Amino acid sequence: MKKLATKKVLTLVSTLILAGFASFSQAQGNAAAGESKAAVCGACHGADGNSAVAANPKLAGQNARYLIKQMNDIKSGARTVPLMTGILNNSSAQDMADIAAYFESKEITLQGANPDLIETGEDIYRAGIAKLNVAACSACHSPTGQGNSQGGFPSLGGQHAEYTATQLKAFRAGERTNDGQSSPMRIVSERLTDKEIEALASYISGLN
């Protein structure tokens, strides 16, 4: 019964996220053209997409489809990021596609996971929590943390632990809702404790 319930959750998560991307189209990005356009992003995210500040997400190696969706959501107001208010207002669809292509072409730097949290983090990432019907993160984000560009699932491996934990808590609290009316990430995160989120985020920061 537990396996069946977990399978149902996995199916629901995949269906909801894919539905969110089904109607999403994007321009063909040019990484070379995106380098100069991404200059303004470097102040917070690093020139190569590897931000030095743990509160700011790394963009290096992130799949372009996901980056474009997030930029469009921030521009439209579907996702609120105070520090990015107005930054994308004058960016065209082609500009955002080029910026996304540029960051996708870069290699993310890895962090060192806390040894004390690895076991718990790995268990959740690879197996989920069956008794709570929490699906394994690897089902959507891949065993190596590289995500799934076709499905629009973001790459997670190497991301700052602080940023990942903050986003999981935002999903859990319903403060971030731009990835679907019934956010799959909220379904997962609302069943995790702060300690489990910390362990999971730490594990992801060193995942490759």
The predicted model gives 5-31 an average pLDDT of 55
Which residue from 198, 142, 135 is spatially nearest to 169, judged by alpha carbons? Answer: 198
Q: Where are the beta strands (DSSP E) in the chain?
A: none
Least reliable range by pLDDT among 83-97, 112-126, 178-192:
178-192
The predicted model gives 48-64 an average pLDDT of 98
The CATH-assigned architecture of domain 23-104 is: Orthogonal Bundle (1.10)
Spans of all domains in the chain: 2-20+110-205, 23-104
What kind of fold does domain 2-20+110-205 have according to CATH? Cytochrome Bc1 Complex; Chain D, domain 2 (1.10.760)
Residue 185 token pair = 């990430």
Interatomic CA distance for residues 71 and 32, integer angstroms: 19
Residue 74 token pair = 């921030």
Helices (H) and strands (E) in the chain, counts: 10, 0
Q: What is the pLDDT of residue 26?
A: 59
Q: Which pTM does this prediction carry?
A: 0.86
Check pLDDT > 90 for residue 184: no
Interatomic CA distance for residues 41 and 37, integer angstroms: 8
Q: What is the pLDDT of residue 18?
A: 45
Domain 2-20+110-205 and domain 23-104, same fold? Reply is yes
* Residue 72: Cβ within 10 Å count: 18
Q: What is the pLDDT of residue 151?
A: 87
